[in-house]
Amino acid sequence: MKLFTIFGNPIHHSKSPRMYNKCFAFYSKNDYCYTRTLLENGQDIINVFRRLKLQGASVTLPHKEWAYKLADEVRGIAKEIKAVNCLVLEGDKVIGYNTDALGFVESIKEFQYESVLIIGAGGTAKALSLMFKNADILNRSANRLQNFTHNTFTWETFQPRKYDLIINTTSAGLDNDNLPAPQEILEQLFQKAKYAVDVIYKTTPFLKLAKQYNLQTKDGSDMLVYQGVLQFEKFVDFKINKQEVAKLMKGVL
């Protein structure tokens, strides 16, 4: 049996097992199985990976930076992002990759925008900042902002201006009614913006508020699919049809 999982906290909401197992079934890989693993301490991620005898794992909030630090080797843009959302066993080494950034860009390819604001300063924000090099970064506190070369702001130092695209990369709204920034700041932003995107794959309070200002909104479902296709390709040792895998994953969502 070849085992795969997704590490996160919380993790009960994840649809990844249904997505990946659907694809395994399509390719008649009955000896492949993908599960969820609640991981409270990110420092344990590689030890748990090895203890479970996994072939691969997805990594979600809040463990992407620990996965980067602890993987035996990191490849591709994950080295620049310093965050890993995909772990793969290659020989006796656990290799880290990042598929978030490319998956997100593919998910909003129909949008027309110039100015971008990223809310949050975690692993996903780092990934997106690599793709949106002129984006501004807004975070509750300043401690993580030092990891960015962009213009950065805390809630206290931020003066809202016009941004075409506003992206929430925080966990606000995942399993609560929280907004990723004070409502008065978001309302000022939404008055001038075109698009609001949340990496969480459901309609969050952030997206609900954006819709009140007639913004075009999108949750993280498409990003989940496109980055998932890239991970699936790394997990398996057989040739896949990316378009077919994307169709299967979208069907689950």
| Catalytically active residues, by annotation | 64
Whole-angstrom Cα distance, residue 207 to residue 215? 9
Whole-angstrom Cα distance, residue 222 to residue 186? 23
Q: How many residues does the chain have?
A: 253
Whole-angstrom Cα distance, residue 135 to residue 18? 34
Token duo for residue 217 = 């909104």
Secondary structure (DSSP) of the chain:
-EEEEEEESS-TT--HHHHHHHHHHHTT-TTEEEEEEE-S-GGGHHHHHHHTTEEEEEE-TT-HHHHHHHSSEE-TTHHHHT--SEEEEETTEEEEE--HHHHHHHHTTT---S-EEEE--SHHHHHHHHH-TT-EEEESSSTTGGG-SSEEEETTT------SEEEE-S-TTSSSS--SS-HHHHHHHHTT-SEEEESSSS--HHHHHHHHTT-EEE-SHHHHHHHHHHHHHHH-SS---HHHHHHHHHHH-
Q: Which residues pair with 93 in a beta bridge?
A: 90
